[in-house]
Each structure stands twice: as C-alpha cells, then as structure tokens.
Amino acid sequence: MKVLLSWLREFAPIEGDPTELGEAMSMLGMAVESMEVFGSLDGVIVAEVMATRPHPNADRIQLVDVDTGDGVALQICCGAFNMAVGDRVPLATIGTTMPNGMEIAKRRMRGEESNGMLCSADELGLGNDHDGIYILPAEVELGAQLTEQLGLGGDVLYDLEINPNRPDAMSVAGVARDLAAHLGVPFMMPQWSVGESGEPVEDVASVTIHDPQLCGRFVARVLRDVVVGESPAWMQLRLSLCGMRPINSVVDVSNYVMLELGTPNHTYDLAKVPNGHLGVRRASESEELVTLDDGMRTLTGADGVIVDDTDSAIGIAGVMGGASTEISDITTEVLLELAWWWPRPIAETSTRLNLRSEASTRFERGTDWALNVNAVNRFCDLMAAQGATVAPGHIDVWGEVPSRAVVELRTSRVNHLLGTDMSRDHVASLLEPIGFDTEPVENDVLVTVVPSFRPDTTTETDIIEEVARHYGYATIAKTVPRSPDAGHLSAYQQERRDLRASLAGAGFNEIIPMPFLAPDALARTGLSIDDPVTLANPLAAEEGVLRPSLLPGVMGVVAYNESHRNLGVRLFEIGHIFMPPRGDEILPDETEWLAIAIAGAQADAAKRAWDLVAGRLGLRGVTVENRDDVAGMHPTRAAALLADSTKVGMMGEVDPGVLAAWGISQRVAYVEVQLDAILSMPHGDRAYRLVSTHPSSDIDLAFVTPDAVPASAVESTLRATAGERLMSLRLFDVFRGAQLGADSRSIAFTLRLQAADHTLTEDEIGAIRQNCIDAVEARHGAMLRA
C-alpha cells in the first residue's frame, strides 16, 4: 500500500520529519518498506512541443522546438520520439540539477544546440515510466514550475506493508487515522456532498439483493454528461505514484476513491444495462461470464454474481466486472456501484478463480459498510469537478451486515496480558482516537464498541492488541520469566549430538540434502518401494517424491562431489524418511535415520564406521547379518543390521549398478540405520566392571572355518564359551590360501582373559582355551589351525 504524505494531510494535520513519521508508522504495525522524498525539482518547467525535426547528423535523436510560454521556439535535442506537436512536456532548463545529481547545461549534440532536456517520468523520480518523455495532461500551465503544477514539491511517498488484520489501513484515510491518533492530532473524515440535477436515480436504475449473506449493502448513483477522457494531472500523478496506471477519467476516479477511502467500486455504462437494473445472486453451476480482462470465467454455485434485468451475469461480485457493460470512449451515462460484500465468499471466489484484484483484496479483508454513501458522494464530487452531472438521490439497498462488535474490555486483563499498569481511562484514551467507542461500566470494565471499519476486531484480545499498539510496544517494560524446571536436552537429543560429534571427530562431514526426490531416483538407486509418498503440488517434477530412504540423496551428494573433483568423500546425514501410512494411520510412517558414506572405500570401511556408531552409543543387541538381498547394495558385500530379528539398517558396499546409474566411478561404503529405533533399545549406561589388579593373559586361536560361516557366529560362540573371564575379544587376522581349501578361510582371534580376584592359573587358562576350541569346532565345522 503506497501513500503520499500530502494525501494523508487531507485527513489530518500531520507534521514532522519524514523519516520519523515513517518510523512512527512502522511502530504502529504499518511497516515502511521504502520511502521516497520528492525534491522541488527547481528548474523543471512545463513546455509545449511546437515542432519536431530530424537531426541532420544523427538517427537516434531528433530536434524538438518547444515553447516555454513566450512563444519563442527553443531547440532541444531529444532521444525520445513519443511526443507530438501540441503535447505539454517537462523541460529541465539550463542549470537544473536532476534527482540523480546530473546538472543540465547548454550542450551541442552532434553539432546541434540543445537548450535543456525533455524528461521522462522516471528521470524526474515520478514513477517507473522511462519509455518516453512524460506527456503531461493538457491543462497544466505553460511555463510554470512542474512540481507546483503537479502539487508535489517536498512530498513523501511511503510504501507500507499492511497486515491482513488491518483492512482499515488499506486506505489513505485509514493510515491517516492511525497516524493522527499516534501523533495526537485530530483526524477528520470529510462528508462530501454534490449538486444534483435531471431525472432522479430511482427513475432510471434499481437494485435487488437476492442473497443477503453475499451482499450486505448496495449503494448506487447515476452520473450523466460524462466525457470519458483524461483525468486531471494531479489525480493521474497520485495514481501512478501509488502504483495504479491512469486509464481514463472514470476508471481513474474509481481507483482514486478506492485508494483514498478503501472502498472498491464499479462503474457500468448505463446504456448497456437493460432498464438500469442490477441484481445480486449466487451463480448457477457452470455459469459463464467474460470479465473485464477478456477472460472467460466459469463459475460455481458458491460465487456471487451481478446480474442484469434479464438475469444474465454481468460481473463477478467483488472480484471483477464483466466486459459487456464496460465503460468505453462513447459512454455518457454511468451507473456507479458501491457495495459491501461478505469477505468469505469473495475470498473463496478469488482463490478458486486465481483472480486477485485490488478490489477483491480489500473485500476479502472486510471493507467499511458505513462508508458507502459518503464514498459514492466522493466519487460524484470528483466526477462533477470534471463536468459530469449527478442524478438526484442514491439507491441504498441492504442485505445483512455484521453488527459492530460490543466487547467488555477488562483493564485488569489488559495489564495482565501486557505486563502494564494502565488505568481504565488511560486505556479508553488510547482507543477513542482510532474509532472505538468506550463506556466505563465498572472500575475495571470498558464496554467497547468496535468501529465498522475494523471487522477483524471482535474479541477482548483483539482490542488489547489495539491498546498495545497505541500504548507503544517499545514502551512496555521488558521482564524475563523463569522456568521452574532446569533447561535440558532429552536423552535422545543428547546422544544424537554425541554421535554427531564422534562422527565429525572421525572425519565425516555432515550433509543436509533436500528431502525431495525425482520420480526415477528410487529405481536408479535399486529401491523398489510400493507407493512412495508423493507431493500433490510440487513446483518441479524433480521434487515430486518424499524420500523413503536417505540413500538416493546421499548418492546425489557423492555424485555431485565426484563431478567437482572431490574424491574419497566421507559423509554422514541424520534425517527423516517417509514410508506410506501404516494401517489406518493418516500420516506417513516417518522415522529418523543415520546414513554414513565413504567414497573410494570397500565394504570393510562400512563395518568400521558401524563399529564406531555402535561403540559410541553403547548398543547391545544389534547384530550384523550377511545378506545377499539388501536393496541397493552389492549382493555379496552387504549385511543387514538386526535388532532381535527386525531389520533396523544395512551396511556394506553400494551396488556397482547403482553407482553407475548415479555416474559414480568410485566404490562407496555405506551404512544406514534407523536412529530412533536403535536408541529406543537398551544401550549405553553400562554397569561398572571392576578393573582387575591381577595380570591378564592373552590366548590366540585361529580356526579354519567354512566361508559359509560368518566370523560373527564364531565370535559369538567364543564369547559365550569363554564367559566372565573374557575381558576382550579381537578378530586380528583373516587368511585365505590354497592349503586351506577353496571354500574356507582362517580367522584368528585374540582373547584376553582375566579374573577380578586372582591371577588365573595355567590350568584355568588351559581349560577355557580347550572349551573354546571344542565349542567352535563342534558348532561351526571349524578346525583349530595348528
């Protein structure tokens, strides 16, 4: 919402430094996004084009003779060609300093004299139009100072961000009211009136509201002797500065009134409206209409329409008018609509049709139903100044309008919520200037009547916010509450942090890929997941699938790095994955996983990374089981991570086919585990085991074991057999050789044995050793290697 300071001043005597006024508006919740102070543009005057001639030595500039009021032709070289003889244009005379700092001097351009510069609106800081010279409205006075003619000197343009709960601030008058209250100066809404003549309105026009829950109030007037031409210069300038393109004298007045009072309105060519009758009803299903922008719109039963005497739709209520009754160059009689619409149907229609207009934006936030008659009179007042005549009387048809909310406001509640110590009368004094009527009924309570221009305000809390705004957020004393409990991370959060720190310490870099996948990413990664969760409205197809695994995202990162010559990367990610909802669940099955990838490494690196994780977290009961069928993984170099018999993860090497599909030329070791699952199992917090002061003994055992027997199985047997004397067990060598046979290998372990209370004897050690050998040989078809 753009507002001019000069326009605000038509409603209240607002004075002060432009920057401080901007700060005040920001602190009232109307944030100043940008501010522009217009200089006086001394030296820029109104000139008239007398003749245009080609430049003898240049094609891209022409010679323009202008009259500055004395009838003497002054030659200017000009790079624009959009002016015609008789046009009034801005001339920066010799000695003028332009807003960008350039000084205008008498110059020769390719041998021809130039006595100043003709200016575009952009060059003057008066809008964005830099396509050509600013052609001024015909009535500006020849030879006069431009800013004086435009009424602009020293003016300030603010671009305000208006929040959805401030429909009142979608108008110049509303901004002025709020700012005036803050500054403690009076706000005055003029009551416009206009001379009337000719046939009264009720003889030429009528309005019927068929749906009072759609249209709360419909005010109409008729204007005659309308000449559709240019609107006055000052109006065009204000409109263009406030971001609306000047169109013609009728549309400009319509927009001007909307910006000024926040009351969108619509004009019909009365000659095109049979019998001058307008009706308001809901559309029928699939009813069609061509709107002002020449678009064919298909409506539903929820949309509101304006219909003519034949019940044909001629406009979409509150959103956009129809093409059939549009004002044209030959229009002389105008039927003016100033309606109040219920916000919700307008919001639904504009959303469904994806058709947002300045009007619908205001209607869906809620306009002021009390302002309709004054606003039509303002419209007529501005048209009458352009020579139109106004038919006597106005039509004022009512549907249902919301009543002004009456709210009991407790001073104690105000202070309780804000942390202030205001008196009841102080609270009242903050509300009255912004249109809230208050009446004290008890020591504590103010009965507050909300103004019709604040439909957003219906509850006590809504009003407390208004009190706070005008008390000043910055004025409220700052205090710090204290939780009765100590702040802390949960055990899960702390362990996840520890894990992250350990992984970083071990050289892994944490990555955060986007959680979206392209539709083919799963197939490329060798994952076949039935019905992955997909997005209904992704902006790009490549972001259409919500990841059911961290692997594709990690592959993408490894591939990206490899393509940028970052080889051998060591990465990890902790993030959520999404599987289809289980059973009757509404939400997807969402779990938190850890992934680790080591590029340029084989499966054994994955095992070491897993050992780091398991060791850090003190996991008990997660086992590693070689599997040939782990999706996405190398068929003979992969294992499942099992908790009881539930799969909680996988590790090994990524399938070479998957790597090729991602364009990765290195081997990649990979671990993936469901973090929330393993951390919900017993882990960590191990009981202290006394560090024995007695010597320990090591025994080494190597077994020739069939390949089909995993080392982990032998290890489990050794642990179980050695029992409580076993301090540690380490697999230290694996050896394959012809002498061991084709399908076997030797695996060697060191067992460190120790007792807490005595030095183990040779006999004790020998017994444990023999038991271990017997057990492994018996259970695993293994043989002690001599």
Partner 1 sequence: MAVSEDIDAAATAAHGLISGAATLDALKAAEPEILGKKSALGQFKRALGGLEPDERRVVGQHLNAVRETVSEALDDRRAELAAGERRAQFEEERMDLTEVPTDPGLGHLHLVTQTVQRLEDVFVGMGFTVSEGPEVETDWYNFEALNLPKWHPARSMWDTLYLNLDQGDNVLLRTHTSPVQVRVMQEQAPPIYTICPGKVFRRDTADASHLPAFHQIEGLVVDEGITFGDLAGTLDEFTSAYFGGAIKSRLRPSFFPFTEPSAEFDINCVICEGSGCQTCQRTGWIELGGCGMVHPNVLSNVGIDPERYTGFAFGFGIDRLALMRHGIDDLRDMFTNDVRFLTQF
- Does 476 interact with partner 1 (rule: CB under 8 A)? yes
| Stretch (H or E) spanning 429 | helix 424-431
Q: Considering the rule CB under 8 A, would residue 770 count as an interface residue with partner 1?
A: no
Strand pairing of 697-706 and 783-784?
A: antiparallel
State the binding string over 619-658 for partner 1 (x if CB under 8 A, else -): ----------------------------------------
Window of 190-198, 382-390, 432-440, 507-515 that interacts with partner 1 by CB under 8 A = 507-515
| For partner 1, the closer CB: 440 or 575 | 575
Between the alpha carbon of residue 244 and those of residues 2, 64, 150, 248, 373, the distances in Å are: 10, 30, 17, 12, 24
- Each residue of 217-256: b (16+ CB within 10 Å) or e? bbbbbbbbbbebebbbbbbbbbbbbbebebbbbbbbbbbb
Query: Judged by CB under 8 A, how many residues of this single chain contact partner 1?
Result: 91
Write down the least CB distance from residue 473 to partner 1, Å. Answer: 5
Residues 3-42 interacting with partner 1 (rule: CB under 8 A):
26-29, 31
Task: Closer to partner 1 by CB, 18 or 143: give it.
Answer: 18
Q: How many CA atoms lie within 13 A of 328 on its CB side?
A: 9
Helices (H), 242-289: 249-261
By CB under 8 A, what part of segment 549-568 binds partner 1? Answer: 557, 560-561, 564, 566
DSSP, res 403: P
Q: Is 537 in the site for partner 1 (CB under 8 A)?
A: yes
Nearer to partner 1, 57 or 351 (CB): 351
Does the protein bind partner 1 through residue 569 (CB under 8 A)?
yes
Among 97, 420, 716, 771, binds partner 1 (CB under 8 A): 420
Considering only residues 296, 330, 480, 738, which one is a binding residue for partner 1 as defined by CB under 8 A?
480
Long-range contacts of 125-131 (CB under 8 A, 24+ apart): 125/36, 125/38, 125/39, 125/41, 125/99, 126/38, 126/150, 126/152, 126/237, 126/240, 126/241, 127/240, 127/241, 129/240, 131/82
Is residue 301 close enough to count as binding partner 1 by CB under 8 A?
no
Residue 383 three-state SS: helix
Confirm if 20 and 187 have CB atoms less than 8 A apart.
Answer: no
Q: Collapsing DSSP states into helix, strand and coil, what is residue 723? A: helix
Q: Binding segment for partner 1 among 132-140, 373-381, 476-484, 715-723 (CB under 8 A)?
A: 476-484
Does 344 help bind partner 1 (rule: CB under 8 A)?
yes
Site string for partner 1, 514-533 (x = CB under 8 A): xxx----------------x
Q: Are 223 and 202 in contact (CB under 8 A)?
A: no
At closest approach, how far in Å is the CB of 412 from partner 1?
11
User: Which residues from 363-382 bind partner 1, rule CB under 8 A?
Assistant: 364-365
Scan residues 449-468 and list those touching partner 1 (CB under 8 A). 459, 461-462, 464-465, 468
Query: In the bound complex, what is the minimum distance in angstroms from residue 489's beta carbon to partner 1?
Result: 6
Between residue 586 and residue 625, which ones bind partner 1 under the rule CB under 8 A?
A: 586-588, 590
Q: Please, which residue, 484 or 682, has the CB nearer to partner 1?
A: 484
> Among residue numbers 240 through 259, which ones bind partner 1 (CB under 8 A)?
none
Distance CA 629, CA 622 (A): 19
Figure out which of the listed residues 54, 190, 295, 538 binds partner 1, where binding follows CB under 8 A: 538
Binder among 334, 499, 503, 617 for partner 1 (CB under 8 A)? 503
Q: Which is nearer to partner 1, 134 or 508 (CB)?
A: 508
Burial environment of residue 505 by CB neighbours within 10 A (0 to 12, 13 to 18, 19 or more): exposed
User: Cα 754 from chain centroid?
Assistant: 65
- Cα 32 → chain centroid: 19
Q: Which of residues 343, 548, 552, 652 is near partner 1 by CB under 8 A?
A: 343
CB closer to partner 1 out of 191 and 483: 483
581 binds partner 1 (CB under 8 A): yes
Residue 488 makes contact with partner 1 by CB under 8 A: yes
Identify the residue among 58, 292, 506, 642 touching partner 1 (CB under 8 A).
506
* The only residue of 101, 484, 583, 682 in contact with partner 1, by rule CB under 8 A: 484
Shortest Cβ 347–partner 1 spacing (Å): 5
Distance between CA atoms of residues 65 and 18, nearest Å: 39
Does position 667 interact with partner 1 (CB under 8 A)? The reply is: no
- Is 347 a binder of partner 1 (CB under 8 A)? yes
Partners of residue 407 on adjacent β-strands: 448
- Among 173, 243, 235, which residue's Cα sits nearest to residue 2? 243
DSSP assignment letter at 484: S
CB of 505 to partner 1, least distance (A): 6
List the 320-321 sheet strands across, edge first: 206-209, 277-282, 304-307, 313-316, 320-321
Among 53, 497, 620, 736, binds partner 1 (CB under 8 A): 497
Tell me the HSE value of 452 on the side-chain side, using a 13 A CA sphere: 13
Residue 583 beta carbon to partner 1: minimum distance, rounded to whole angstroms: 13
Q: How far out from the chain centre does Cα 329 lie? A: 41
Residues 138-167 that bind partner 1 (CB under 8 A): 163-166
Is 534 a binder of partner 1 (CB under 8 A)?
Answer: yes
Nearest approach, Cβ of residue 504 and partner 1 (Å): 4
- Should residue 477 be labelled a site residue for partner 1 when binding is judged by CB under 8 A? yes
Binding test (CB under 8 A) with partner 1, winner from 486, 690, 691, 786: 486
Q: How far apart are the first and last CA of the chain?
A: 91
Q: How far apart are CA 361 and CA 330, in angstroms?
A: 30
Q: Is 547 in the site for partner 1 (CB under 8 A)?
A: no
Is 408 a binder of partner 1 (CB under 8 A)? no
Asked if 62 contacts 53 with a C-beta cutoff of 8 angstroms, the reply is: yes
Residue 144: CB minimum distance to partner 1, A? 35
**Stretches 129-137, 397-405, 480-488, 635-643: which one binds partner 1 (CB under 8 A)?**
480-488
> Minimum distance from CB of 470 to partner 1 (Å)?
10
Distance of alpha carbon 397 from alpha carbon 253, whole angstroms: 23
Work out whether 582 is an interface residue with partner 1 (CB under 8 A): no
Please list the alpha-helical segments (H only) found in 243-384.
Answer: 249-261, 343-353, 358-365, 372-384
- CB nearer to partner 1: give 146 or 464: 464
Residues 396-416: b if buried by 16+ CB within 10 A, e if exposed: ebebebeebbebebbbebbbe
Residue 558 CA to residue 667 CA, distance in Å, equals: 11
